Structure 1
Amino acid sequence: MKHKYVVVDLETTGNSPARGDRIIQVGAVCIENGEIVSRFSSFVQPGIAIPPFIEQLTGITDDMVEDAPFFEEIAPSLLQMLDGAYFVAHNVSFDYSFLQGELENAGYMPLSMPLLDTVELSRILLHDADGYQLNQLADHLGISHTNPHQADSDAEVTAELLQHLLSKLGQLPLVALQRLQPVLRKLQSSTEQIVSELIAEKSNIISDDSGYDFYRQLVLKKVHRDLNNDEERDTGELSALSLREKLKQHMSQFEVRESQKKMMETVEEALENHQHAMIEAGTGVGKSLGYLIPGVLHSIRTGRPFVVSTHTVQLQQQILDRDVPILQKIMPFPFHAAVLKGRSHYLCLRKFEHSLQDDLDDNYDTNLTKAQILVWLTETEHGDVEELNLSSGGRLFWQQVRSDANSCLGHRCPWFSRCFYHRKRRQAQSADLVITNHAMLFTDLKADSQLLPAYKEAVVDEAHHLEEVVSDHFGTQTDYFAFHRLLERLGTTDSSQAAARLSQLADLLEIPRSSDVFSDWNEKMADLKQELDDMFRLLKLYVLNGAKASAPDTGKVFIRYSREETESRNFAPVLEMFDRCSSMIRDLLKRLQKISKAVADKDDHLNFQQKGFMADLAGLRSDLEEEMSSLSHLLYSPLHDEVYWMEADIRGARHAVWLYAKPVEIDDILADEFFAKKKSVILTSATISVRNSFRYMIDRLGLADFGPVTSQLPSPFRYDRQVRLMIPSDLPLISECDAKTFTSMISRSLFEIAKVTKGRMLVLFTSYEMLKETHTAFKQLMDEDEFMLIAQGIDSGSRARLTKNFKKFDHAILFGTSSFWEGIDIPGDSLTCLCIVRLPFSPPDNPVTNARSEKIRAAGGNPFYDLSLPQAIIRFKQGFGRLVRSQSDYGAVFVFDRRITETRYGRSFLSSLPKLPVDVRPLGELTEELDRWLMQKEEE
């Protein structure tokens, strides 16, 4: 495959040559026969001033281009280089169209050549990259990138990236390339041309494809057979502590931690004595090994699986990748661990195979995602969507091809033996250790324990999230868009969706009177959509007219409602519309059932694809029935032990309204359905006590009648030496001034602290609105390049991506809210200062909090002290824990909320922290003391 590729990168004064923007630098790299053979680079005189933003981004100034050639002077050299080549760029549409514009202005004929976009190719071939910006891909592949946003450097890096991508493409097996070819035809790049030549080359050679599993014209990575646990394993005199001693031999940096030893003893005793336990293990205790070692040992002794449930996918993966290999080294005999997530995480190979038959779908994101998955299948053993970096459009396509119970063919599916989900379930059934997540744990509970292997012992890590997860899982919700998506999938008889395909299949099988079923289908579908639209529009008006509260930072308003409201005269029009919708949906479902039954009677005449379609249709019918059942419950059957509310997006579509129901309390659910049915459940977290007591969590989670063992294990970190808690005494409370004044003072305070710490700050907010305003005010205070500001919701990217960017830059400040209060890990010099702007109390008008407060008040309790305060303390402890992640970390925690020292309840926050120095003084004195202390720490 001998091609000439010219990789081009342009730096420009803006985005549009039509609006007068011009090129200021060109970089080009020529690749032939897989090698870089020549380079071209030149600044370009644009004839206009370079905007300050472009100067800051690229480092290219007016002085640097003052004596540079004009574009028409370098155009001949560039065109000669491009002759007979593929035009390659990172986001090729920009560079190619901009160059076309400049050539046209210079009087040249337009270019006509095949294009390659390295963004598109990277998305297809590098499914595990964090992101697809050039610097992210360079980091991912270990390519040196010395001058980002300068054309010569960017072109060089893009050329190295292209070499890697073409090499990887060439290594794909023949069948995978054949499957890719028709999909690539619908994308932007001319990759299909290259793949055609690769197919021709590979058709004439015998290659080593032993690492692949070829089945039904798809190529999967070959995986080992599922293992079993039939071997005898004598645990003898083994104990958790004796195994812990072996850690020293296998972990060069293993530290003796008394708290970890105590945790192992507590877990071991709880498991042996069939007791539930609640263990708070401070940061640095090593709690994962603290429960894994005794848990796995107990599993091997009893022959029952030991289940570990985490709240986050990241911790699940960390246990599998970091902790399980350590256990396998110290165990004197093999044991088996398996990860099991909800089935929507896994690809359904039958559905994906079927999607490849659809040649009519020209949606770009759909076809790009098909190409991604085809390549990913040659590498993945798990089929888990978490391994893929999908676009938003790609995630929509995933909904069509993910595994789900309603459309599963089970043993009748030819993919069953290779099914990712069922393989994971088989592995879990024979595993000693099953690692799952809270969502799956309680999905299993709702499904009468049919998903996870039968277990009696479990650890629930990150247990402070348990109430929220259980409340979600035993609640109900729906919205207009849920119905819209289902009806779109059902479609009309003149579409390519389910109804049309069923009609065609019925005709093919000559099913009597099928034409009667579909004769007025499109009219009925249109009427139903209109009725649903009207009903949800009316619901939105109902919310907007009755709303007394707003959901902070979301642009939504909401109202709570009860059976009395739904039975009132004002609500009657909604219920009348629901009854009509319900009747219409029942009619359509009855028609589908009638044809489906007739098709099922001719099962012998159906091929595999047709049987798969009928399974998917049955799943679609079931999904629609479930959605109607949810809406019926939400509108007709409000119960007294649940809280009901509706939310409407003020700025959203006319039918943008969501309905929710959640249990007010979950203690009885957990007590009866979970704790009473298990021998031993260990609940653990770094933040599960309040004021050194477990009473709040024991009551909230329904453990009061079980007498759980409790243990509070301190962190090995020396907080008294590693951390200073600083509370400025001269900052106002937000109630003492207007929001603008408060934001201005917060911004100035953060700026003064940042000058001392040289950035390296994490600032935690309780409101996105305040974060946004503070970010704007802070930018106005600083010089252009003084600090790198990274802000959640302002800078794009996930929490993990923003955190990674924060670590990469010197003098960086990270502004975060919501999810940034926990789960981010920034050890070392990247983080020296944590600022907590306000104590993290939940909004009192949150529907669930409000309903729980009412129940506490009715029982004679105090909602603030019994609910709001404990919740805020746990959240505060989570935020505080972001600063010190290792024994060598040090830094200051600033709290800008004077309530922590000036109110009686504020002392509860302080008493829940480890013992450490607390300094309350005016900000100026605190920054002077911080400067002195940091210099001292740096000298130690």
Structure 2
Amino acid sequence: MDANTIYAVVDIETTGTNVAEGDRMIQFGCVLVQNGKIVNHFNTDVNPQSAIPQSIQALTGISDKQVKRAPLFDDVAGTIYSLLSDTVFVAHNVNFDFPFVNAELERVGYPALSIQAIDTVTLSQILLPTVPSYRLHDLTHYLNITHDHPHSADDDALVTGELLIVLFKRMLALPIITLQQMVAENADLPQDTAEVFKWGLQAVRQRPKSLPADLHVTNGIALRQTNILTTTDERSYTFPRTKKNKLKHFPKHFEWRADQAKMMNLIYRQYTDAETVNQPLIVEAPTGTGKTLGYVLPMAYLAQRYRKQVVIATDTVLLQNQLMDQTMPLLKKMLPFETHAVVVKGNHHYLDLARFKVSLTQPDHSKQTQLIKLRLLVWLTQTTTGDLDELHFRNEPPYLSVVYHRGLTDLSKTDPFYEDDFLRRLYQRLPQVQFVVVNHAFLIQHAATLGQALKQPYLVVDEAQHLADYALTTQRQKFDFQIGLATSRRLLNELDPENLESLTATIKVAPLTDRLQTVFRWVIEFERQLNALSDHLISQFRDQFGKPFSSPYKEIIITEADWQQFLSQRKGLLEQLDILAAKLQTELTDLTNLFYQQSTRWLKSDEERFMRFSQTVSALLDAWQTLTQIRQAPQKEQQGAGSYLYWLTVSNDLTHIMVASNLMTVTGYLSTQVYQHFQAPTFTGATLFSSNRSQYLYDQLDLDRTKIKMRRLKSDFNFEEQAKLYISTDAPDISDTGAYNQYLANTILQTIRRVNRPTLILFNSLAAIDAVYAKLTDAINPQQRLILAQGNSGSKEKLIKRFMDEDNAVLLGAASFWEGIDLPQEKLQLLIIARLPFDSPEQLETKAQYTRMKAAGKNPFYNLSLPKATLRLRQGVGRLIRTREDYGVVLVLDSRLATKHYGQTMVKSLPDSLPTMSSGFPKLLKDMTNFFKKHQTNHQES
């Protein structure tokens, strides 16, 4: 295999996936690639002598009529066999195409091809490690390769050939040292794909080139250089207040939005006026306002004028990335001065180079892990951040827990990658940038650090309605005694001198050996005392658990007073455990320094054992730190008594116990722990208020309503023409779950049969989704309408991707589907709300919150449940109209919205101009049909 080899790039279309069960080829396409060029091609339809399934016809566009006069496979087998002989077979998913072609050849009497075969999916995953999707159509779009007819064998073969040429170029541009490590990994890749890298290494060795200027090698790994930022512009710039001046800076064809301009001026004026500069600002900016640009532009001018930095906190990592990838490039085009931004995430988002290097020496039988190692080696020649999110892992692979960063406190100056450490570089870079983009969880946990490092910067909290939830979540702690004891036992095994594979037995170098034996004795004592603490906790609260258990585990709430009493009674035992934990932490640091000071004398196996020992000690100390945080009483002057919820989870045999705590209210917490480290914050979001009079948001943000400036901008969408709200009044009582789910299934089925539009259905629970999904899939042919459901059809990202790819799919979702998904431009036209989004009052924490509010003389329903559900309803409805061109309807099947007084309160929170109709379902369905007929006509005319 080399450049002169002829690569036969093949794609086939078939009636199914199994030749043995009668599936047949219906189309064959092939292009020949040699020396980086396409040199020949061949394609043909094939008569399968059987009907093509409707799903295959819909996917490929190949009909029975089209293949009726095509040659049989018997007639073209000789041509195909001759064409492929003496080539390397290439396909996008070679483990399907290659065996299928061989099976067809053998079926008609030819021998199976005994040629090498390689897979472009795997090569793409390795050589294009940051691509979000490796489907052929997505790859061609990413690489700007024209792909007019997906799922057509001739076109798919052609673009796969072009993809192969790109991949080979990428491989041959890699540094020799990277290719050496990739070959040394000896990865088990599909068919002969691993041989490609052996050829690549040989080719690069034959024509060695100097390392590119943007790369360098550290400790045997090729890394991308990091640009040094410079900010030397000391000039003053005038903020463009007027429309005329703004348009001078805006790019051509930029859509002017009056409320966006108002938001820009409002924020800039807030921080330049002496009367308001110390006053927090809340701006509700509905969808379509362009709120992100609405705050970053004035903040850029403020940062430049006052030489201050801006921290932007948004809801999720996804929104952080969108802000960096979409908003910041646009901002740079609009500014007359230079500005820089960085994303800062939690430690585990970043690669630890030292841990990765050690992992390369460890043989791994997991094909997934082998593939990830190859991807990381290539990615390290590209990334300047070390942010693992750039690799778009769908579900976090177990291997990442081995190589992600543990934080700067875990980084030693003796670390061979100290100078190149991604996290250290990131924090070094912070003083040179104007914008620091974090998520809410990071802000809550690191507010003091950010405030100190950046000298009290500006703060913008986007999607501010979620900040309180993250504050409560980040304060939630859970300590599992069983996991703690299991970790200590694992550590004892790694240190046991009687275990010939242990670290103590294999490293016989003073003073390391003596110190490891000391650690061994300390861990024995730690485990003994931790076990005693677990027994005392079970004994103390045994009477409260009751009997019998209706499930393997039971949760009970314990009062703060009872918890503090237990801690007081076991104060001596806890102090002994604290002392042992502190000793272990100090000893781990000293041992690490000693070990790496003598790094030249260790075998790879020694390094592996020490790394495993270090990770286990860290895991034990992390667990103990969690219990320490649970033990720390809340600061009474900040939160007040009863602000923390404590609960125990115990197994039915009373041998396994967990203790947990959670902050119950942000009152006094956000103001003291977060806001005081910044300038007066700006809060923004599309749906912040449940009503103009509601106190809910101010309570959620821990703000004094009398000291806040608040503005609610208006949406410029024409809801009167673009949308309509339908409320069904004939639903059964929601307390009858069976009848209500049957009603949902029947009405949804009637609706989607009559209205053939892309449909999102929002539920409150996965159980309700399962009940309705089963009935819909039984009644609807999947070839006619794709039905997707959370919990049944893949991850959220996969569901949204599949939904976007179809013209009339139906998507059933709960929880996170109520917000944070963007489906514009006719990708969503029918939104069905199965049930009003109230939290279940049976949840442990909800019960505790209700009890706390009642004790404070407040009505939990009107002060918590109703405003929370109203906001979620607004967010759900907000999924429908995302641009001025969108149109569609909302159908609410929960009649409480029409029949209950609080339902009218919820309706009033929706846009004033949104037309509303309440009636029995048949009448609603008729009117809905007319709505879409009208808009279809208008759309065709326009």
Per the TM superposition, whether the score is higher than 0.5 is yes
The partner residue of 2:886 within 872, 886, 889 is 889
CA 1:131–1:501: 2 relative to 1, 3 Å: farther
1:506/1:599 contact within 8 Å kept: no
1:183 Cα deviation from its structure 2 partner: 2.0
Q: CA deviation at 1:121?
A: 1.6
Change over 3 Å in CA distance of 1:593–1:470 after alignment to 2: closer
Distance change in 2, residues 1:17/1:828 (3 Å): closer
The one-letter code sitting in structure 2 at the alignment partner of 1:39 is F
What's the counterpart of residue 385 of structure 2?
Answer: 382
Structure 1 residues 350 and 465, CA gap change in structure 2 (3 angstroms)? same
1:331 aligns with 2:335: yes
Which residue type is aligned with residue 770 of structure 2?
A: K
The answer to whether the 8 A contact 1:675-1:703 is kept is: no
Which of 677-686 and 598-607 deviates more?
598-607
Of 824, 827, 831, the match for 2:828 = 831
Determine whether 1:306 maps to 2:322: no
Find the counterpart in structure 1 of residue 364 from structure 2.
361
Q: Indicate if the aligned counterparts of 2:187 and 2:194 stay in contact, CA closer than 8 A.
A: yes
Task: State how 1:734-753 maps to structure 2 within 5 Å.
Answer: 734-735=734-735, 737-739=736-738, 741-753=739-751
Aligned AA (2:266): T
Alignment of 1:600-615 (within 5 A): 600=593, 604-607=597-600
* Contact kept? 1:250, 1:326, Cα under 8 Å: no
Q: 1 CA distance for matches of 2:544 and 2:96?
A: 45
> C-alpha distance in 2, partners of 1:95/1:532?
60
Distance 2:114 2:232 in 1: 65
| TM-score normalized with structure 2 length | 0.84
Q: C-alpha distance in 1, partners of 2:575/2:68?
A: 72
What root-mean-square deviation, in Å, do the aligned CA atoms of Structure 1 and Structure 2 show? 4.7
- The separation in 2 between residues aligned to 1:875 and 1:783, in whole angstroms, is 33
Cα distance in 1 for residues equivalent to 2:628 and 2:675? 31
Cα shift at 1:482: 6.4
Deviates more, 1:247-256 or 1:773-782: 247-256
Contact 1:543 1:648 (8 Å CA) reproduced: no
Q: Deviation digits for residues 59-115 of structure 1, max 9, x if unmatched?
A: 778888889888777655544344333333333334445556666777776654433
Report Cα offsets for 1:240-291 as digits up to 9, x if no partner. Answer: 5259832455333444444333323432343342111222111122222222
Is 1:121 the counterpart of 2:95 in the alignment?
no
What pairs up with 1:95-494 in 2 under 5 angstroms?
95-97=97-99, 112-143=114-145, 154-207=156-209, 209-216=211-218, 217-227=220-230, 229-235=231-237, 238-239=238-239, 241-242=241-242, 245-247=245-247, 249-272=249-272, 273-358=277-362, 360-390=363-393, 392=395, 395-405=397-407, 408-445=410-447, 448-449=449-450, 453-479=454-480, 492-493=493-494
- In the alignment, is the contact (CA less than 8 A) between 1:900 and 1:907 conserved in 2? yes
Q: How much has 1:549 moved relative to structure 2?
A: 10
Distance, in Å, in 2 between the alignment partners of 1:116 and 1:21 is 26
CA distance in 1, matches of 2:595, 2:773: 66
Equivalent runs, 1:793-832 vs 2, <5 Å? 793-799=791-797, 801-832=798-829
| 1:701 maps to 2:701 | yes
Q: Does 1:903 align with 2:896?
A: no
* Residue-pair matches, total: 916
Counterpart-to-counterpart distance in 2, 1:543 and 1:115: 65
Q: 2:637 — aligned with what?
A: none
After TM superposition, give the deviation of residue 408 of structure 1 in Å: 3.5
Label 1:77 to 1:320 Cα distance change in 2 as closer, same or farther (>3 A): same
Please give the alpha-carbon distance, in whole angstroms, between the structure 2 residues aligned to 1:771 and 1:875.
18
Q: Which of the residues 861, 866, 887 maps onto 1:864?
A: 861
Pair 1:390–1:902, CA change in 2 (3 A): same
Inter-CA distance 322–69: structure 2 relative to 1 (3 Å threshold): closer
Q: Is the contact made by 2:90 and 2:117 (CA closer than 8 Å) also made in structure 1?
A: yes
SS at match of 1:203: helix
Task: Spell out, residue by residue over 1:139-160, the C-alpha distance to the aligned partner (whole angstroms, 9 max, x if none).
Answer: 4445566665666665555444
Aligned partner of 2:723 in structure 1 is 723
Aligned partners of 1:457 and 1:678 also within 8 Å: yes
Cα distance change, pair 326–79 in 1 and its aligned pair in 2 (3 A): closer
Structure 1 residue 871, shift from structure 2 partner? 0.6
Q: Secondary structure at the match of 1:829?
A: coil
- Using a 3 Å threshold, how does the CA distance of structure 1 residues 780 and 179 change in structure 2: closer, same or farther? same
Letter in 2 for 1:728: S
SS at match of 2:460: strand
For 2:870 and 2:182, how far apart are their aligned partners in 1? 53
Q: For the Cα contact (< 8 Å) 2:563–2:646, is it kept in 1?
A: no
Deviation at 1:895, TM superposition (A): 1.0
Once residues 568 and 675 of structure 1 are traced to their aligned partners in structure 2, the CA distance between those partners, rounded to angstroms, is 29
Q: Deviations over 1:665-694 (max 9, x none)?
A: 112111222234433111111111122235
Cα gap change, 1:600 to 1:431, in 2 (>3 Å): closer
Amino acid at match of 1:850: K
Superposed displacement of residue 230, structure 1:
3.9
Alignment pair present for 1:84 and 2:102 = no
- Runs of at least 5 residues in structure 1 that lack an aligned partner in the other structure: 551-555
Alpha-carbon distance between aligned partners in 2 of 1:492 and 1:395, rounded to the nearest angstrom: 26
Deviations 1:165-210 (A, max 9, x none): 2332233233322222112544344334222222222223354753
Counterpart in 1 of 2:766? 768
* Cα 1:588–1:75 shift into 2, 3 Å: farther
Q: Which runs of 5+ in 2 are unaligned?
A: 635-640
Query: Alignment identity in percent?
Result: 28
Give the TM-score, by structure 1 length. 0.85
Residues 317-345 of structure 1: per-residue CA shift (max 9 Å, x gap): 33323333343333333233332222222
Q: CA deviation at 1:877?
A: 0.7
Whether contact under 8 Å (1:88, 1:115) holds in the other structure is yes
CA-CA distance at 1:911 after TM superposition: 1.1
Aligned partner of 1:2 in structure 2 is: 4
Q: How much does 1:849 deviate?
A: 1.9
Corresponding residue of 2:710: 710
Shift of 1:748: 3.5
> Does structure 2 conserve the Cα–Cα contact (< 8 Å) formed by 1:240 and 1:297?
no
Partner residue of 1:553? none
Relative to 1, partners in 2 of residues 1:317 and 1:549: Cα closer, same or farther, differing over 3 Å? Answer: farther
Residue matched to 1:917: 915
How far residue 821 of structure 1 moved from its aligned partner, in angstroms, is 0.8
Indicate the residue corresponding to 2:558 in structure 1. 562
> For residues 929 and 549 of structure 1, what CA distance do their matches in structure 2 show?
49
| 1:45–1:67 contact (8 Å) kept in structure 2 | no
Closer, same or farther: CA 630–110 of 1 in aligned 2, 3 Å: same
Which digits, 9 at most, give the CA deviation of each residue in 1:839-864, with x for residues without a partner? 10011122222211110011111111
Q: CA deviation at 1:4?
A: 2.8
